[in-house]
Amino acid sequence: MRIRYVSKQQGQTLKLSTFPSFAKNDKSSRAMAGPASLLVSCGGTIYNVSSNPDIYNQAK
């Protein structure tokens, strides 16, 4: 599982709210995401952007 980070402003620009998400402290959901998932953290939420790797590549 790999997690990269974006600012809240960049998250709005990338429309992260359209992707599946879970709270940062929700370890059970993080485990269900799978080891090959591309995850982006924005604020207190983690988004699974595996369906759009370009977003993951833009994150730090």
CA gap 50, 45 in Å, rounded: 15
CB under 8 Å to 20, separation ≥6 — which residues? Answer: 47, 48
CA gap 47, 50 in Å, rounded: 9
Q: Which residues of the chain have pLDDT under 70?
A: 30
The per-residue pLDDT for 34 is 81
The per-residue pLDDT for 42 is 93
Question: Which residue do the tokens 């604020």 mark?
Answer: 43
- All structural domains of the chain with their residue ranges: 2-58
The per-residue pLDDT for 52 is 92
- 8-20 residue pLDDT tens: 999 999 999 999 9
- Tokens at 8, concatenated: 């809240």
Q: What pTM did the predictor assign?
A: 0.85
